[in-house]
Structure 1
Amino acid sequence: MTLDRAVFVFAGLVVLAGVALAHFVSPWWMLLSAFAGANMIQAAFTGFCPAALVFKKLGIRPGQAFR
């Protein structure tokens, strides 16, 4: 698995977790999905992704987007 795929999987899991928690626990959990979406937009414009830094330190090989 490359760094790009790891970041996309993580972002998807965060969004789905936020939606599930909002449905079953409290609507305030939608803020988690909103935060993940805002972070993805920010990463698209700046190229900086905190999750990519963490995954890189864990030894996941780089892909095309986050070098």
Structure 2
Amino acid sequence: MTVDRLLRLIAGFFILLTVALGVWVHSNWFYFTAFVGLNLFQSAFTNWCPMMTILRKLGVPDTTPCRQ
């Protein structure tokens, strides 16, 4: 799995999780949902977000090798 795909997976998970927590636990969780959304928004223009840096340092590849 590449950085881009894993980033989308993690962001989607965090959004679903924090929306559920905001509905059933406390409404302040919606601030974290907004934080994730803003990071996704700015990464569309800059091609960078903090999670991408973390994933690269963990050794997740940027691209997949060509299949032969």
**Which residue in 2 is equivalent to 1:17?**
17
- The structure with the larger Rg is 2
Looking at secondary structure, tell me which structure has more helix per residue.
1
Runs of 4+ in 1 over 4 A off after TM superposition: none
The count of residues paired between Structure 1 and Structure 2 equals 64
Shift of 1:28: 1.2
The separation in 1 between residues aligned to 2:14 and 2:37, in whole angstroms, is: 10
Cα displacement string for residues 33-66 of structure 1 (whole angstroms, at most 9, x for unaligned residues): 1111000011111112110110011111103xxx
User: Under a length normalisation based on structure 2, what TM-score does the superposition of the two structures give?
Assistant: 0.86
Q: Secondary structure at the match of 1:60?
A: coil
The separation in 2 between residues aligned to 1:50 and 1:29, in whole angstroms, is: 20
CA RMSD of aligned residues (A): 1.3
Extract unaligned runs of 5+ from structure 1.
Answer: none
The separation in 2 between residues aligned to 1:10 and 1:29, in whole angstroms, is: 17
**Which residue in 1 is equivalent to 2:53?**
53
User: Under a length normalisation based on structure 1, what TM-score does the superposition of the two structures give?
Assistant: 0.88
The separation in 1 between residues aligned to 2:45 and 2:57, in whole angstroms, is: 23
